[in-house]
Amino acid sequence: MDTVLMLTHADAEGALPRAALEALTAARALAGGGALHAAVFGKGAAKAARALAGTGVARLLVADSDDLADARYATDAAAATALAKASAAPVVVVPGTSRMLRVVAGVAERLGGGADTHVTGVETDGGPAAVRWYYRQRIEARLRRKERPWVLAIDPGAFTAATADGAALPEAEAVAVTLPEGGGRTRVEGFRSPTSGEQTIRPDAQLLFVAGAGWTKKQADGKPHPEKAEELVLGFMRAAGASLGSSKSLVDQAGEGQKVFRFMTHLNQVGQTGATPRHAKGLATCCHGEEPHVVGWRFVRERRAVNLDASCGWARGKADVVYVADAFAVMEKVNALLKG
Ligand SMILES: Cc1cc2nc3c(=O)[nH]c(=O)nc-3n(C[C@H](O)[C@H](O)[C@H](O)COP(=O)(O)OP(=O)(O)OC[C@H]3O[C@@H](n4cnc5c(N)ncnc54)[C@H](O)[C@@H]3O)c2cc1C
């Protein structure tokens, strides 16, 4: 059995990202009877690491510094490399967060090992193996590599998060990181959102709310009501903390400069040529439920849809429940209930 290291950053609030606890489950499965190490870097990393108490971690390494507060290639790569070297584990598991994915290849190169991303499963028969999909979830592959350390980035949502029972943690070992002077060439000045500043993609949300092109189409009175649609969709997103998905038709309209939702980009698109998110529940509104869209829902376990058309795609076995109703009226009512 190999020693396996789960290596993560702390999040902006100085806590462990949920994806790190999911990566820990994968690391534990890979370790089998071998030792499980954990390493955390970032501002407040030592405090964040306390969430690992009672998860079976045998060795805990920490790089805690204000200089590691911001996601920045030079400092993150230096910290992650130093921690992996200190652990010397031949297999390193990291959460597939955007911060970690940015440095994972460089870290593996600095360690003289190899990296694989988008891992959705692990196996141990005959040595460690990683499972991932190719060609937009059409081919599932099992990979083994000779390079060590082998760094595996786990897709968020693919594993159950490890639960901590609060038992004692091994004392954290502080690992010294040689950071490039002044943080390197990149200076973090702040964050700017690509759209209106509305954060609509939330991988950790329980619910995926999908808006389809119907929201911008002519309604019963013969007119489109994009402003009302925007108010209802945003109102629901804010009240429910859901993640916003879209059909291709809706985001393509945005690309053509029509009056559509300001907060919608191609990053919201779900489907064959979009994303395949992993939320527990999904609600599709004003979306027809055509196969190229629904294929992106394959990991969403409980599906519901609101559509005026009783013979839409969702009604043909693609959703658990279809409400044949006007989504404008339904969401108005739902938002009022949420407010109450
Ligand atoms: C190669 C290829 C790849 C593709 N990839 C993707 C992909 O990744 N993702 C994707 O989404 N699509 C993809 N598509 C396009 C896909 O086939 C559909 O065209 C698209 O999903 C349709 O979007 P829609 O359901 O929002 O719009 P529409 O088909 O226009 O449906 C709008 C729906 O809104 C309903 N509606 C209107 N008003 C209301 C109301 N007031 N209340 C309730 N319901 C209402 C209507 O009844 C209708 O069903 C792809 C197509 C191809 C050929």
Segment 47-87, tens digit of pLDDT: 999 999 999 999 999 999 999 999 999 999 999 999 999 99
What is residue 28's DSSP assignment? Answer: H
Q: What is the pLDDT of residue 168?
A: 87
pLDDT top residue among 26 and 193: 26
Q: Where are the beta strands (DSSP E) in the chain?
A: 4-9, 36-42, 59-64, 91-95, 114-123, 129-134, 139-143, 150-154, 173-174, 207-211, 243-246, 281-285, 302-307, 321-324
Of 85-89, 138-142, 218-222, the poorest mean pLDDT is in 138-142
Q: What is the pTM of this model?
A: 0.70
Distance 134 CA to ligand 1 centre (A): 25
Rounded average pLDDT over 89-98: 96
Please say if the pLDDT value at position 167 is more than 70.
yes
Q: List the residue whose alpha carbon is closest to atom 26 of ligand 1.
A: 212
Which residues does ligand 1 sit against, CB inside 6 Å?
212-214, 217, 219, 247-250, 269-274, 286-288, 290, 292-293, 296, 306-309, 312, 326-328
Please say if the pLDDT value at position 196 is more than 70.
no
Distance 211 CA to ligand 1 centre (A): 9
